[in-house]
Structure 1
Amino acid sequence: MVNDDSSIAQPTTPGQRSTTLSLASVLAEPARLRPSATAVIEGDQHVGYGQLWEQVRAHAAALRGRGVQPGDRVAIVAPNVIDFVRAYYAVLTAGAVVVPVPLLLVPDEAAHLLRDSGAKLVIGHTSQRALAEESARRVGVPVLTVGPGGDPEASPETTSLTELAAAAEPVASFATRAPEDPAVIFYTSGTTGRPKGAVLTHLNLVMNAVVNAFDANDTRRDDKVLGCLPLFHVFGQTVSLNTTFRAGAALVLQPKFDPGEALELIRRHEVTQLNGVPTMYIRMLEAAGPETALPSLRLCVSGGAALPVAVLENFERRFGASIHEGYGLSETSPTATVNQPAFGARAGTVGHPLWGVDAEVADPDVDDRIELLPTGQTGEIVIRGHNVFAGYLGDPAATRAAVVDGWFRTGDMGRKDADGYLSIVDRKKDLIIRNGYNIYPREVEELLIRHPAVAQCAVIGLPDPERGEEICAVVVPEPGELADDSLSGAIRAWAAEQTAHHKYPRRVVFVDELPLGPSHKVLKRELREQLTETNTAARG
């Protein structure tokens, strides 16, 4: 069954509205202005804007030849390669809606995205043949492949979009779209139940790219931006891909993040801007040798999760490049706030709202309306502006619960200081209540990461019959540290000296690595489930 919702803007037909806007224009415009300038680099491939736009128009023609119409949903299953870029803008140029599929999903999960979105077909990179073909088979939709051919295991029903495009006459330009037409459907990570499809419009994504490029991040035409964030995720897609192209800069793709290779790509291509999540910055620090230098690196942006201040300070001191931490969600295109040159960066905060966006703090216990709190008080972060999504696909009840009085309720807790800087306290759902006291895990994580034996950590609450919840620190120790009871006791004792009695972790669990989702966020829900089961078994 195809999800639909009359509360979400439906595809328009040419002439229905006088105002038009297409996300494909962020590629079409630099192709017109600077066709010979490099748009994207992958390995030894350097593709200019003019050449890329011609290839995209040929791919769009091939999609139209396969029956893709404006408003159709088309899924893309591909890593960070040029073929993803071609497919992405080709779908938009054809007037269709992109449904990115995270590569860590299993076929059943991917099939849910295809079924829920009503995808008409799947574009799968040949390196992701199994996931693309199996998920499409379960839903009964065709697959078109991009990338290197010659796969003897490919299904005989699968057709190469790359070959079709090579034989097609490129379309003249992108299809007419209205600003409120859907452009991309991003599926949320699904912290409760099945993931929901967040519908982002052409206006949402064009504006977020424009404001990121020219107001927030100071992206320049001669910049080279490392594309190590997955392009199937909203952070990589907007802040790395669309923002880079809107500025007319060059994107250096890394198909799959590897910290050592990322450092080498920055050095080899003289990358000037890096966008990443905290785990990437941590792993790059770990991978850097004593002689590793990145003199070209000018600006870094961190998002997706809270960046420990100690990591920010270590990275800036080690490489001499500023990290500007920001904040956003799939439902906000994603960027809502960021430390910006106009205001100056303040470590431990996510800066100020983007141009045209409001971010405030509201009473989290009032559900039917938004009651903003005074400066300095902790509450739920709420956002309004051009970046707020059109709604959840096929779920008007969830949309009404999320958007109240014109504000999007994020579910994140934060506070604003007297200078307007926003700080993220924690996820509302991650709050730990111990003996009636509220403990925000991020505060404890910021403390623990400063311990010399702690490389990474995540703090969670576990059910406790006496205190309601108990604080548990899941720690990845520094290389060479012996993860035993002695180290656990030392970390607990050290933390007890550094913070209030009710805040320090009573339990320390060592792991080789923290579980990460497709966007490299730590999966705290998974940790809670695993350790809750262990606790229950131990008591039984």
Structure 2
Amino acid sequence: MTNLAHILTESARRYPDRPAFRVDDVVVTYAELDALTARAAARLRARGVLPGDRVAIALPNVLAFPVLYYGVLRAGATVVPMNPLLKARELEHHFRDSGAALALVWSTVAAEADSAAAATGTTAVVVDEETVAAVAEWPATEDVAARDDADTAVILYTSGTTGTPKGAQLTHANLRRNATTFVDMFDFGPGDVVAGCLPFFHAFGQSNALNASILAGASVSLVQRFDAAKVLQLIERHGVTVFEGVPTMYVGLLHTDLGPVDTSSLRMCVSGGAALPVEVLNGFEETFGAPILEGYGLTETSPTATFNRLGHTKPGSIGLPIDGVDMKVVDRNGAEVPSGEVGEIVIRGHNVMKGYWNRPDATAAAIVDGWFHTGDMAVRDDDGFYFVVDRKKDIIIRGGYNIYPREIEEVLYEHPAVREAAVIGVPHATHGEEVAAAITLRAGAAATPDELREYVRTRVAAYKYPRHVWLVDKLPKGSTGKILKREIDFPAEILGTSTPSGRDRGHRPSDPNGRHRHTEPAAAPTT
């Protein structure tokens, strides 16, 4: 079993009548999902898609996502998942860089995708609410294309301080092993019901929610857009046993005025995508009675690298390395540092990507002697638990989504009035971090913060544009002329935020004995 699509065909053989996905009251069984992906694969082949070709998918968490995702894999092609909130300039880079000949895009992104496709020669096909019904009428092919473990299954775009998005090549073996490890670690099974809130186009949701659930034969209740009140009702209605989310989701669940909701079906929750404040973790567990297990990973590590385990956790920690993965903390020379000292996290194992697509230099810089250098600074305690303390890179993590300052700065520099710009992250009570921009103007030019904010907002995805923009006479610089972001003075009104705990909130009825019934660098908040 090499092609990642076999995790679906095998579960369909074992659990044909088990619900694979629920969308409100609509249920799609494993047998039905398997048949739909077979028809999607046949249509792709008829369009000339060959093994190894790249097919872009820009879809939210709708039923069409798993149908087309596994359909592309089944045809032997490589999936290039994209956020459906991306704008034309962002899609154009992804299309051109990946060489995708075909893009399957949600109806809301059709205009942006058409513009990008016209510039790259990519064929954009619009997907909407009626697509799955249409797929059911297409001819089917029962076979699954043969692929090798080392073949690229998915290209997920990420970036670093250079601001140039790079495609991380995740192989069939990377993703299958990552899903298998997650299933084994948390004893996932066909009796589990998973809340599908994490966006599947993101590495976290794709591996830990989509692939892991399909591998286990579990049922996924799809949530296209996260709404805390609706999710709590969904947990009660569908008997959700596993909730996977980013910290902002847990904050939202804690602060929802909904009245009593029975979430006693929850047996565990996992958090990733950004650091989970200990106060939020404690407040959630006190309120809902279900443990939150925090983990850590990156797109380049498929993504899971560490997790806390049931009965073996430390608040504030990202946990222990998963099975088959080695991790250590090193100094700038690559030497491992003693427990308790800060260094950079490096990772080696089955989860490390094949490399960046068509970027051998970037691959060589990131993977040294088999160790992937994360750029994240951490300490390891005497028990082997890891604690992230800072980020070596300038990445801003807003609501679990990575935002790369250089990308936003490039947009600002396109404005005729902007002389210099520095984009940085500032603390935010619910999103973790918010995007902020300090800007100097060209001599004689005029522009207001509102104008500059709007300029960026129309050119990047909704979660990326800077909510805080202010003008300064000059930006602090070092001896080489590099802007020193750490020395930028912030307006007082954007500092001093705190993270709410919500621990005094209650959603669960008590059982007859007076106890509460049990209730892891996008979906995550998009505005």
TM superposition score normalised by structure 1: 0.75
Could you say which residue in structure 2 is the equivalent of 1:207?
177
SS state of the match for residue 23, structure 1? coil
Which amino acid in structure 1 is aligned with residue 91 of structure 2?
A: A
Say if 2:297 is the partner of 1:353: no
Matches within 5 A, 1:54-453: 54-149=35-130, 163=134, 165-189=135-159, 191-215=161-185, 217-341=186-310, 344-363=312-331, 365-366=332-333, 370-430=334-394
SS state of the match for residue 265, structure 1? helix
Q: Whole-Å Cα distance in 2 between the matches of residues 303 and 383 of structure 1?
A: 17
- In structure 2, relative to structure 1, the CA distance for the partners of 1:288 and 1:27 (3 Å cut) is farther
- In structure 2, relative to structure 1, the CA distance for the partners of 1:317 and 1:36 (3 Å cut) is same
Could you say which residue in structure 2 is the equivalent of 1:532?
none
Which amino acid in structure 2 is aligned with residue 325 of structure 1?
A: E
Q: Whole-Å Cα distance in 1 between the matches of residues 121 and 369 of structure 2?
A: 40
Could you say which residue in structure 2 is the equivalent of 1:154?
none
Which amino acid in structure 2 is aligned with residue 97 of structure 1?
A: T
Which amino acid in structure 1 is aligned with residue 153 of structure 2?
A: A
Q: Whole-Å Cα distance in 2 between the matches of residues 337 and 379 of structure 1?
A: 17
SS state of the match for residue 360, structure 1? strand
Give CA deviations for 1:156-209 in whole Å, capped at 9, x if unaligned. xxxx7864x444331122100000000000000555322100000000000000
SS state of the match for residue 429, structure 1? coil
Which amino acid in structure 1 is aligned with residue 388 of structure 2?
A: I
- In structure 2, relative to structure 1, the CA distance for the partners of 1:465 and 1:232 (3 Å cut) is closer
Q: Whole-Å Cα distance in 2 between the matches of residues 65 and 296 of structure 1?
A: 44
Q: Whole-Å Cα distance in 2 between the matches of residues 473 and 357 of structure 1?
A: 41
Q: Whole-Å Cα distance in 1 between the matches of residues 430 and 125 of structure 2?
A: 43
Q: Whole-Å Cα distance in 1 between the matches of residues 168 and 154 of structure 2?
A: 8
SS state of the match for residue 371, structure 1? coil
- Cα drift, residue 307 of structure 1: 0.4
Give CA deviations for 1:435-479 in whole Å, capped at 9, x if unaligned. xxxxxxxxxxxxx99xxxx666549999768998359889xxxxx
The root-mean-square deviation of aligned C-alpha atoms, in Å, is: 3.0
Which amino acid in structure 2 is aligned with residue 394 of structure 1?
A: N
Give CA deviations for 1:87-136 in whole Å, capped at 9, x if unaligned. 00000000000001112210110111011000010112334332333322
- Cα drift, residue 289 of structure 1: 3.8
**2:226, 2:524 within 8 Å by CA — same for their partners in 1?**
no
Which amino acid in structure 2 is aligned with residue 26 of structure 1?
A: I
Say if 2:453 is the partner of 1:469: no
Q: Whole-Å Cα distance in 2 between the matches of residues 184 and 336 of structure 1?
A: 18
Q: Whole-Å Cα distance in 2 between the matches of residues 288 and 472 of structure 1?
A: 38
- In structure 2, relative to structure 1, the CA distance for the partners of 1:459 and 1:104 (3 Å cut) is closer
- Cα drift, residue 218 of structure 1: 2.5
**1:240, 1:275 within 8 Å by CA — same for their partners in 2?**
yes
Could you say which residue in structure 2 is the equivalent of 1:531?
none
Bigger mean CA deviation after superposition, 60-69 or 99-108: 99-108
Give CA deviations for 1:30-89 in whole Å, capped at 9, x if unaligned. 101110001011122100001110110011001000000000000011110111110000
Q: Whole-Å Cα distance in 1 between the matches of residues 41 and 219 of structure 2?
A: 23
**2:379, 2:387 within 8 Å by CA — same for their partners in 1?**
yes
Q: Whole-Å Cα distance in 1 between the matches of residues 323 and 223 of structure 2?
A: 30
Which amino acid in structure 2 is aligned with residue 50 of structure 1?
A: A
- Cα drift, residue 291 of structure 1: 2.9
Say if 2:19 is the partner of 1:38: yes
**2:248, 2:430 within 8 Å by CA — same for their partners in 1?**
no
Bigger mean CA deviation after superposition, 422-431 or 167-176: 422-431
- Cα drift, residue 138 of structure 1: 2.4
- Cα drift, residue 265 of structure 1: 1.4
Could you say which residue in structure 1 is the equivalent of 2:412?
none
**1:430, 1:460 within 8 Å by CA — same for their partners in 2?**
no
**1:359, 1:383 within 8 Å by CA — same for their partners in 2?**
yes
SS state of the match for residue 306, structure 2? strand
- In structure 2, relative to structure 1, the CA distance for the partners of 1:469 and 1:139 (3 Å cut) is closer
Q: Whole-Å Cα distance in 2 between the matches of residues 43 and 519 of structure 1?
A: 16
- In structure 2, relative to structure 1, the CA distance for the partners of 1:134 and 1:522 (3 Å cut) is closer
Which amino acid in structure 2 is aligned with residue 344 of structure 1?
A: H
- Cα drift, residue 521 of structure 1: 8.5
- In structure 2, relative to structure 1, the CA distance for the partners of 1:521 and 1:144 (3 Å cut) is closer
- Cα drift, residue 137 of structure 1: 2.5
**1:103, 1:518 within 8 Å by CA — same for their partners in 2?**
no
Q: Whole-Å Cα distance in 1 between the matches of residues 317 and 228 of structure 2?
A: 25
- In structure 2, relative to structure 1, the CA distance for the partners of 1:381 and 1:522 (3 Å cut) is farther
Aligned length: 434
- Cα drift, residue 256 of structure 1: 1.4
Q: Whole-Å Cα distance in 1 between the matches of residues 79 and 245 of structure 2?
A: 23
- In structure 2, relative to structure 1, the CA distance for the partners of 1:385 and 1:394 (3 Å cut) is same
Which amino acid in structure 2 is aligned with residue 376 of structure 1?
A: G
Give CA deviations for 1:470-521 in whole Å, capped at 9, x if unaligned. 59889xxxxxxxxx97x97xx69x99xxxxxxxxxxxxxxxxxxxxx93749
Give CA deviations for 1:3-25 in whole Å, capped at 9, x if unaligned. xxxxxxxxxxxxxxxxx611101
SS state of the match for residue 16, structure 2? coil
**1:104, 1:518 within 8 Å by CA — same for their partners in 2?**
no
**1:458, 1:473 within 8 Å by CA — same for their partners in 2?**
no
Could you say which residue in structure 1 is the equivalent of 2:522?
518
Q: What stretches of structure 1 of length at least 5 have no aligned partner?
A: 1-19, 150-159, 432-447, 475-483, 496-516, 524-540
